[in-house]
Structure formats: structure tokens, C-alpha cells
Amino acid sequence: MDDKAKDLRRALRQSPWFGFDLDDTLHEFRKASGAATTATLTRISNAHQIEISCLKSAYSKILSQGTSGAFSDGKTSHQYRRERFSALLASFSLTATANSPEFLAGLLDTYEHTLTSILELKPDVLDLFVQLRRMGKKIARTIEALGLSDKIDFLATTNRFGVAKVDGLFPRVLAHLDIQATDMVYIGDSQERDMVPAMECGMRTIHYAENENFDPTAVPAKFDTLAKIAHLVSE
């Protein structure tokens, strides 16, 4: 093990706090969300005889509009989805349907039922959390529905703090917990939304990159499995 890897191991073992991104770090959100969106758009397609490909194209454009600061205005994911599906219907001149509480409620039910039926934890999440708990580490950021509520010390959300990760969430979380940036290691899958803002405020970071080569000496360190993080911490 070279000096950089040893330094990382030392930092992991000494850090009292571990922060985690949620979507696509702790669970397979992208996969589940894609299936839920397809199921919902299929329902619209069947009801209004619109090609599913046209719906997907229009919905992608709606999603691309202003997503960086999403959830920082106090709205829930349920409210965001309702607005997006309503905007999608309106874009096809389905004004009456777009304003129908009953139809929108049905779309949201389809989306959320599909999402929860498919959503699952990433491999090795529970093992990593158990290992961190055994070592006395505190954990921030997780979700109750996936059975992790007993393994969390603090849940930080953009709803709660009114600011997105890229706009200053991390410094606010540190201030709320009354800890220094050097007290927390942050693990996430997005270079732009996780690594950059976390590093800017002084946190040690780990880029969880499933499709990239394992490189504990990179900055930020790259891990392709959570099991390798657990192994390095426990060595």
C-alpha cells in the first residue's frame, strides 16, 4: 500500500462522521426511477393515444429545466412529480387532464408504486454501515423505507436546509452538527453535485464510481464498490 492509500485509510479510521449521498450511492434510484417513469408515461400513452417515444422526449426536456436547485424551495418529490406530469400533459394540449386532480393522482400512484416495488439497496450498503457502526462512526444521510433508519444519526435534506448541495448545503450541515469539515468523510456518485461542493468546503471525499477503475490514490479517491471502502476502513 503506497503513502496516499495509507493516508486515506488513516483518514477513514480517524473520521468520526461519514456522509453519504442517497440516489445511486446507497440505492439503485436511476434504475427504479426509469422504470417508474416508463410505467407512468405508458399510462398516459394508453389514455390519450400518444406515442411513448414522444412522451419520453417531452418529459426529458421538462426534467432538464432547473433541476440543479431542485428541492431547495421546500417542495417534496411528490409535488415536483405532480408539476412535471401536469406540464407534460399541458405540452400536448391536454389542459383538462393536466388540471385533473384525479388523473394526476393516478399517475403519481403508478410512479410511486413502481418506484417502491423496484427500489433496492446497492450491494454491500448494510455491511458497510454495520462496519462503520461497529467502529463507533456516525452516519449522515439515508432513508427509512430501505430499512436503514436504525443506522443513521442525522438526515440532511435540501428541503430541511432550503439549499441544494451545489449551493451551500454542506457548510450548513456542518454548522448544524457543530463539526469541522475535517470531521466528515463524504461519499457520493456525482463529481459535480457531490465531490466538488464537498471538497470546496474542506471535506475528505470518496467518489463512488461503479464503472471506473478503483484508485484510492486519486483525488478524490475512486471506489467501484462499497465493499472496498469497508475493507479499507477495517484493515
The domain locations on the chain are 3-27+121-234, 30-118
Contact 207, 195 (CB under 8 A): yes
In whole angstroms, give the CA distance from residue 119 to residue 53.
24
Instruction: Return the CA Rg of the chain.
Output: 20
Flag whether pLDDT at 188 surpasses 90.
yes
Q: What is the pTM of this model?
A: 0.76
If pLDDT is split at 50, 70 and 90, which confidence band does 75 have? low
CA angle 182, 184, 152 (to 5 degrees): 160
> What would the mean pLDDT of 133-155 be, rounded to a whole number?
75
Domain 3-27+121-234 architecture: 3-Layer(aba) Sandwich (3.40)
Check residues 45 and 159 and name the one with the higher pLDDT: 45
